[in-house]
């Protein structure tokens, strides 16, 4: 998962980043509200970790801003030294999903992050997953459309499955590159700049992502891509 952490304490940021990376997540760190908000307007994340006291703002105001300006209902975890009941109520009322008191204990952070992600994103364990006419055979890296097999490369399969699992979500280019290729590729010059666009174009063609099949893969200018379910039957 892709996680953004906002805290003005460099030591705290490093601890949080270390713990999250040990869990297998990619963590992006920010020390000011301005940096954090600027990134959220152009990038997408699966979870936000927000401190209370910041050099240019306070946590509850940041959470309220996120709920007003970020369309996706991304889960938010407050991490703060405040532990009075009034603070907890204020943080949760602002729109946070959970509350954790400093000093951060790695075990507790892991447990709370896992719980938030489990509640927010379904854990798809079955070997076969279906969306409308599309059936993904996860153990074989294969896709069928109306029970007919289609040919995809491994990366194309991974990208297609990621898009279907996140149907309706706007996913930034960097988010997709980090999730399907590697975190280093999000800003790397080694991966051709149009590699993602080429894969998206091929998926549209090979999977026939057209309205008549109930799904449409759209590009959002300067932001990324979103797979849209065009009917209630497809969404289910």
CB neighbour burial string for 82-119, b if at least 16 within 10 angstroms, e if fewer: beeeebbebbbebbbbbbbeeebeeeebeebbeebbee
Peptide bond into 103 cis (omega under 30): yes
pLDDT over 70, % of the chain: 91
Per-residue model confidence as pLDDT tens digits over 162-205: 999 999 999 999 999 999 987 654 554 445 558 899 999 999 99
Per-residue model confidence as pLDDT tens digits over 31-65: 999 999 999 999 999 999 999 999 999 999 999 99
- Taking a C-beta distance cutoff of 8 angstroms, is the pair 53, 59 a contact? yes
How far apart are the two ends of the chain, measured CA to CA in Å?
Answer: 23
- Taking a C-beta distance cutoff of 8 angstroms, is the pair 209, 192 a contact? no
pLDDT over 90, % of the chain: 72
Distance CA 74, CA 80 (A): 19
Q: Give the architecture-level CATH label for domain 128-235.
A: Orthogonal Bundle (1.10)
For residue 87, pLDDT over 90 is answered with: no
Which two three-digit tokens encode residue 122?
Answer: 């379904």
Residue 94's contacts (CB-CB under 8 Å, 6 or more residues apart) are: 59, 60, 61, 63, 64, 67
Every domain of the chain with CATH number 3.40.50.2300 lies at: 2-120
Residue with tokens 């892991």: 110
pLDDT of 236 reads: 47
Per-residue model confidence as pLDDT tens digits over 130-149: 999 999 998 888 999 999 99
Tell which CATH classification among 3.40.50.1370, 3.40.50.10070, 3.30.450.40, 3.40.50.2300 matches the domain 2-120.
3.40.50.2300
pLDDT of 94 reads: 94
More confident residue, 11 or 186: 11
Every domain of the chain with CATH number 1.10.10.10 lies at: 128-235
pTM of the shown model = 0.80
């Amino acid at each position: 998962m892709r996680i953004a952490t906002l805290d003005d304490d460099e030591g705290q940021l490093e601890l949080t980043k270390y713990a999250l990376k040990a869990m297998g997540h990619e963590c992006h760190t920010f020390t000011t509200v301005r940096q954090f908000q600027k990134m959220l307007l152009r990038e997408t994340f699966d979870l936000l970790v927000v401190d209370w006291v910041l050099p240019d703002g306070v946590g509850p105001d940041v959470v309220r801003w996120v709920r007003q300006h970020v369309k996706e209902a991304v889960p938010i975890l407050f991490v703060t030294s405040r532990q009075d009941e009034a603070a907890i109520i204020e943080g949760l009322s602002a729109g946070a999903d959970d509350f954790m008191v400093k000093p951060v204990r790695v075990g507790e952070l892991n447990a709370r992050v896992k719980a938030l992600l489990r509640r927010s994103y379904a854990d798809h364990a079955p070997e076969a997953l279906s969306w409308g006419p599309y059936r993904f055979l996860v153990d074989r890296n294969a896709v069928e459309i109306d029970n007919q097999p289609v040919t995809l490369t491994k990366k194309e399969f991974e990208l297609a499955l990621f898009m279907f699992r996140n149907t309706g979500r706007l996913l930034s280019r960097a988010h997709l590159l980090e999730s399907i290729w590697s975190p280093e590729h999000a800003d790397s010059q080694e991966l051709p700049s149009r590699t993602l666009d080429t894969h998206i174009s091929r998926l549209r063609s090979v999977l026939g992502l057209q309205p008549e099949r109930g799904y449409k893969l759209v590009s959002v200018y300067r932001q990324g891509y979103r797979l849209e379910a065009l009917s209630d039957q497809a969404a289910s």
